[in-house]
């Protein structure tokens, strides 16, 4: 899946005053903050659940290398900023030294191709299951209301069989716990830079605000 930055009308005027097709717009350079891109075809962030023990893998290296291009932009899958931030099996983290190291071969490969790599910082909040949480604790959130149906967590048992289950009832955070969450993102951003990536936004869940 690709994302086109600043989608424009199907027809645009070229420098010579003639109409250009949207396809040509796609291949025009664009500046995004500090980053000069050579074209506007961007890899959208996609969770692929290919990490192992929260570490980035060689399969992920292959995935990102295949999609990197000279002057292009890749946005990583959501990468968790804390042990209690995971809501899917086999998602990677960016909160330990080992995790930072596991990303380095991937960022090196992508940079060698000439692409910019953004890391998407992620904490799933209540969109998790006790089986995915340290000590099987309740997921943390701003609310005690679970994610409503039809959204469900995907769990995989020891035999590799997957099942869909309702998200667990979360534990609302106390006000004094919130600085810790902010810190998760601060450290995640710092670690992303150390792993060789630039950082991007945090990921918002698709079902909107907690109630
Ligand atoms: C398999 C899959 C995994 C995704 N994982 C993420 C993710 O980790 N972070 C995120 O922000 N969006 C994620 N998305 C959303 C996509 O980045 C994209 O925004 C969404 O699919 C809409 O794009 P489209 O209109 O081109 O389909 C995911 C989508 C798919 C299909």
Cα–Cα distance measured from residue 150 to residue 183, given in angstroms and rounded to the nearest whole number: 32
Q: Is pLDDT larger for residue 89 or for residue 3?
A: 89
- CA-closest candidate to residue 200, choices 105, 87, 77: 77
The yes-or-no verdict on residue 54 having pLDDT over 80 is yes
Distance CA 114, CA 190 (A): 22
Residue 87 — very low, low, confident or very high, per pLDDT cuts 50/70/90? very high
**Does residue 124 fall inside a structural domain?**
yes
pLDDT for res 60 = 98
What are the tens digits of pLDDT across the range 106-151? Answer: 999 999 999 999 999 999 999 999 999 999 999 999 999 999 999 9
Query: How far does residue 110's CA lie from ligand 1's centre (Å)?
Result: 20
Residue from 2, 45, 88, 207 to probe ligand 1 pocket by mutation (most atoms less than 8 Å from CB): 45
Instruction: List the residue whose alpha carbon is closest to atom 27 of ligand 1.
Output: 1
Q: Which two tokens stand for residue 159?
A: 């035999």
Between the CA of 193 and the centroid of ligand 1 the distance, in Å, is 23
Look at residue 11 and tell me whether its pLDDT is greater than 60: no
Give the CA-trace dihedral at 84, 85, 89, 95, to 10 degrees: -90
Answer yes or no: is 43 within a domain: yes
Going from the C-alpha of 54 to that of each of 104, 109, 128, the distances in angstroms are: 14, 20, 15
Whether the predicted pLDDT of 70 surpasses 50: yes
Question: Is residue 51 assigned to a domain?
Answer: yes
Q: What is the pLDDT of residue 7?
A: 38
**What CA–CA distances, in Å, run from 101 to 70, 93, 186?**
24, 11, 18
For residue 81, what is the DSSP state?
A: S
CB 126 within 8 A of CB 210: yes
- Taking a C-beta distance cutoff of 8 angstroms, is the pair 133, 123 a contact? no
Give domain status of residue 119, yes or no.
Answer: yes
- CB proximity list for 161: less than 8 A, separation 6 or greater: none
Q: Taking the CB of residue 78, how many other CB atoms lie within 10 A of it? A: 23
Residue 45 lies in a domain: yes
With beta carbons less than 8 A apart as the criterion, state whether 34 and 73 touch: no
pLDDT at 2: 42
Protein residue with its CA nearest to atom 12 in ligand 1 = 45
Longest alpha-carbon distance in the chain: 64
Provide the pLDDT confidence category of residue 210 given band limits of 50, 70 and 90. Answer: very low
CATH of the domain at 76: 3.20.20.70
Instruction: Look at residue 204 in the predicted model and tell me its pLDDT.
Output: 52
Antiparallel, parallel or unpaired: β 73-80 and 41-43? parallel
Q: Is residue 82 one of the residues assigned to a domain?
A: yes
State the residue range of the domain holding 196: 26-131+175-202
Looking at the domain assignment, is residue 138 inside a domain? no
The tens digit of pLDDT for each residue in 139-181 reads 999 999 999 999 999 998 889 899 999 999 999 999 999 999 9
Residue 143, domain member (yes or no): no
pLDDT for res 205: 52
Domain count, the chain: 1
Q: Is the CB of 46 under 6 A from ligand 1?
A: yes
| pLDDT for position 22 | 59
């Amino acid at each position: 899946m690709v994302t086109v930055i600043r989608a424009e009308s199907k027809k645009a005027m070229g420098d010579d005053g003639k109409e250009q097709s949207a396809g040509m717009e796609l291949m025009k350079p664009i500046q995004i903050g500090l980053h000069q891109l050579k074209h506007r075809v961007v890899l959208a962030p996609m969770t692929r659940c290919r990490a192992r023990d929260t570490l980035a893998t060689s399969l992920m290296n292959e995935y990102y290398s295949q999609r990197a291009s000279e002057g292009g932009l890749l946005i990583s899958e959501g990468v968790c900023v804390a042990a209690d931030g995971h809501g899917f099996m086999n998602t990677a983290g960016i909160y330990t030294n080992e995790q930072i190291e596991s990303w380095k071969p991937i960022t090196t490969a992508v940079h060698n191709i000439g692409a910019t790599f953004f890391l998407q910082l992620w904490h799933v909040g209540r969109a998790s299951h006790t089986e995915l949480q340290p000590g099987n604790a309740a997921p943390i959130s701003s609310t005690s209301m679970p994610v409503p149906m039809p959204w469900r967590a995907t769990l995989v048992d020891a035999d590799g069989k997957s099942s869909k289950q309702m998200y667990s009832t979360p534990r609302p955070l106390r006000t004094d716990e919130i600085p810790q969450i902010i810190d998760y993102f601060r450290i995640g951003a710092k670690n992303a830079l150390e792993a060789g990536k630039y950082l991007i936004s945090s990921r918002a869940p698709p079902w909107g605000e907690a109630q």
